[in-house]
Chains A and B, each alone.
Chain A
């Protein structure tokens, strides 16, 4: 069956460190993968999109990698700040179903001052 797995346990890190979140998938052939941020009681907000032919994408302090052999994406926040504390969701769609985005369960990140 198809699965998108993110670590359901919260990730606690110290301010200034790099946070690394993992998204693993099985039985998908995604054309692209997206990352979203969600704050409590709010809808998710888009952060980054990476395509299957891209290894890495950066935006300010954010970096995403995409390894279609390992079937894994890593999401990095460098120089983390308490304001980065939120739940981070990965989402992907199969090549032949580009509109049907499926989300992982999300990982909660807590950055302590």
Chain B
């Protein structure tokens, strides 16, 4: 079975901390994505990567950065966490443009 694995299901961090969210896929997919999901706002794209070391901004990149050093791993970094970054974070991957997305189970991040 294909898999997208997110390193944590729940995380609690303090304001100002640097936060790393890790995502690994085992499908040799070219594309990887980070979304956040908030009640009433739906899923919003933060960043995506179409190749190793390549990235593109999504709709809400402010306050976030990403890293893709290996094809299977895509990290989301909150340089200085703020309370408005409390959210469910979802990682996804796909094989190419117009292909279906495979999602991880999500990380519920609380910033206090």
The interface of chain A, by Cβ under 8 A from chain B, is 8, 31-32, 34, 36, 41-46, 49, 89, 91, 93, 98-106
Contacts and interface: CB of A to CB of B under 8 A. Distances in A.
Size band of the interface chain B makes with A: 20 to 34
Nearest to A42: B105
A41 to B, nearest CB: 7
Interface stretch (B12-20, B42-50, B65-73): B42-50
The 4 closest A-B pairs by CB, nearest first: A43-B103, A98-B97, A105-B42, A103-B43
Contact of B100 (A46, A98, A99, A102): A46
B57 to A, nearest CB: 10
Contacts of B81: none
A79 to B, nearest CB: 25
B26 to A, nearest CB: 15
A29 B1 CA distance: 33
B101 A46 contact: yes
A31 B106 contact: no
Q: Find the residue from A41, A93, A98, A101 having the highest chain B CB count within 10 A.
A: A101
Given A42-B106, A103-B35, A103-B43, 13 more contacts: A41-B105, A41-B108, A43-B90, A43-B104, A43-B105, A44-B101, A44-B103, A91-B101, A99-B56, A102-B45, A103-B42, A104-B42, A105-B40
Contacts of A43: 4, 90, 92, 103-106
21 contacts: A8-B40, A34-B100, A36-B101, A41-B105, A42-B105, A42-B106, A43-B4, A43-B92, A43-B104, A44-B90, A44-B101, A49-B100, A91-B43, A93-B98, A98-B98, A99-B31, A100-B48, A101-B45, A102-B45, A102-B59, A106-B42
Contact of B41 (A31, A34, A42, A105): A105
